Amino acid sequence: MKAPVFEYAAPQSVEEALSLLGACQGESKIIAGGQSLMPLLNMRLARPDLLVDIGRIAGLDYIRDADGGLAIGAMTRQSDIERSALVAQRQPMLAAGTRFIAHPQIRNRGTIGGSISHADPAAVYPALAVALDMQIEVAGPAGHRSVDAADFFITYLTTALEPDEILVELRLPGFPPRAGWSFKEVSRRHGDFALAGVAATMEVDSSGVCSFARIVLFGVAAVPLRVEAAEQLLLGSKVEQSLFEEAGAMTSDTLDEPLSDIHASADYRRHLAGVLTRRALAEAAGRAA
């Protein structure tokens, strides 16, 4: 199908974009890379009155060092994150996870800010935002604010962003040098959205005891889901296969009502979440120095 009629503006600055959003009487929508929004427009599932294209704003496309971590501009293309030497060095799971996003042709256009703002429950970047403790920098009419990723995702396709706000930057701490990580998903075909996925990080002390664990599931609930019960189980325990099996089983058990749709039943997603968590924890532990 063809997109419905809408007004279009391509502001040159964040300030100009904010005033366009603020002045809009009807529904406004920001377009960044457009790789999720264009299908919605073409299928007329989205019918905004005004489309604000932030792709012409200079200075929203960068990957920089920030206090040993990273600052990434909202308009940074996924393919640039995938190829960045700085990302690979500072946040290897961000680089690895990016390769699970659709296909190269999509990643050439898709942006990190757009993906996180869109907040698809099965998408890679929202899960990584929670797993890697991203700070989400937001510009609005009253100035800038910073939102923890843990507070950002509210429900399906819904975030803490107000209609007159723009996500402008992601800030990430550096990945702890001794920590291990693992990113896994199951999808029908390579490049499809995940039926279920997990992003896990772990630190292991010199005596082989887990001193930090983070488990974030995606594709199973309305938002990226931290499995704190399993994290607590790991903390202070000796890392070994039986522990990962227990954590995987616990992960399955904590999912009350996983998503159920034509792609996968709730039971299947519950099963996948447990298996993927077990495998991811083993891999993360193996990578932890």
Partner 1 sequence: MTMQQVVKVTVNGVSYERNVEVRLTLADFLRVELGLTGTHVGCEHGVCGACTVLMNGRSVRSCLMLAVQADGAEIMTVEGLADDGRLHPIQQAFMEEHGLQCGFCTPGFLMAVYELLGSNPDPSDEEIRESLGGQICRCTGYQSIMRSVKSAAAKLAGARV
Binding site for partner 1 (CB under 8 A): 1-10, 20, 31, 34-35, 38-39, 41-43, 50-51, 53, 55, 79, 99, 102-106, 108-109, 189-191
Question: Least distance from C-beta 71 to partner 1, angstroms?
Answer: 24
Smallest distance, partner 1 to C-beta of residue 105, A: 5
Give least dist CB 190 to partner 1, A.
5
Q: Which is nearer to partner 1, 90 or 184 (CB)?
A: 184
DSSP secondary structure letter of residue 109: T
Outline where the chain has alpha helix (H).
14-23, 37-42, 78-83, 85-90, 92-98, 104-107, 112-118, 124-131, 149-152, 228-234, 241-254, 266-287
Neighbours of 265 (CB within 10 A): 14
Minimum gap (Å) between residue 82 Cβ and partner 1? 11
Sign of CA dihedral 266, 283, 215, 72: negative
Report the residue number, 79 or 251, with the smaller CB distance to partner 1: 79
Neighbouring C-alpha atoms within 13 Å toward the C-beta of 68: 5
The nearer residue to partner 1, 68 or 189, going by C-beta atoms, is: 189
Q: For the beta carbon of residue 86, count every other beta carbon within 10 angstroms.
A: 14
Q: Which is nearer to partner 1, 25 or 242 (CB)?
A: 25
Distance CA 74, CA 76 (A): 6
- What is the C-alpha to C-alpha distance for residues 161 and 155, in angstroms, rounded to an integer? 12
Q: In this structure, is the dihedral angle defined by the CA atoms of residues 62, 65, 67 and 69, taken in order, positive or negative?
A: positive
* Shorter beta-carbon distance to partner 1: residue 113 or 258: 113
Between the CA of residue 238 and those of 38, 61, 71, 202, 244, what are the distances in Å? Answer: 48, 43, 35, 12, 10
In the complex, the smallest distance separating the C-beta of residue 79 from partner 1, rounded to whole angstroms, is 7
**Least spacing, CB of residue 84 vs partner 1, in Å:** 15
Q: Which is nearer to partner 1, 38 or 71 (CB)?
A: 38
